[in-house]
Copies of this chain bind each other. A is one copy, B any other.
């Protein structure tokens, strides 16, 4: 099994590069305009646009890839940038893309991509399986630790997040001294963090990020890193708690740690 060839399907930012350094893939396929090609000079690198499904499948076949990991930020493309190839159009029809998008949205699109790859003999695996070193560990590895009452607030935050998850809404919650300041739905975590700055009474909000119960970690993992931490610092946040071993660290752990320590925030794996 370990001889199976592995590819990374790379979106933007550093995360796919960090995974590559750890798992030494046989091929990296970057999404045009999103992946950063200069990062991958030491690897066999190819590019496809988001709509070139035929080209993607051919690249995988030609290189005998049996396992693929999709990782990195994807900006929602404008339709004209999709550059659908013939295979993409055929598959969109065959797999009823219209119905998937209508009823399941972006999540459904990712699940569909996974299904198509698997139907072509390529297993889709999450970074958590390939490289546990990228994951948030258990407990606090920052100098500042959450206090006993912070741990209670975090627990309450997860209770709220799980209740939301059970009805398939959002993953993130901001809590301050037991008061739930905000709950994430379609606006995304950044907007949630910013909004809760203005609602804070200055006691230090805590960001909690959980999972939806049916969230497939092979295609969609919670991510935490410097961008989020910088935003939290602006808002006087006390710290962050995510699910240990189920949250990807987007940036080098030492950098994340030193930034958190410098600004007296905690990072806690629950």
Contacts and interface: CB of A to CB of B under 8 A. Distances in A.
Interface of A: 103, 105, 156, 159-160, 163-164, 166-170, 174, 178-187, 191, 195-196, 199
A183 B180 contact: no
A196 B191 CA distance: 12
Contacts of A159: 167
A185 to B, nearest CB: 5
Contacts of A168: 180
Contact of A186 (B103, B105, B163, B182): B182
Contact of A164 (B103, B156, B163, B179): B163
A186 B191 CA distance: 15
Contact of A199 (B164, B178, B180, B186): B186
21 contacts: A105-B179, A159-B167, A160-B167, A163-B166, A163-B167, A163-B169, A164-B164, A164-B183, A168-B180, A169-B180, A169-B183, A170-B183, A174-B185, A180-B185, A181-B186, A182-B185, A183-B185, A186-B196, A187-B199, A191-B195, A195-B195
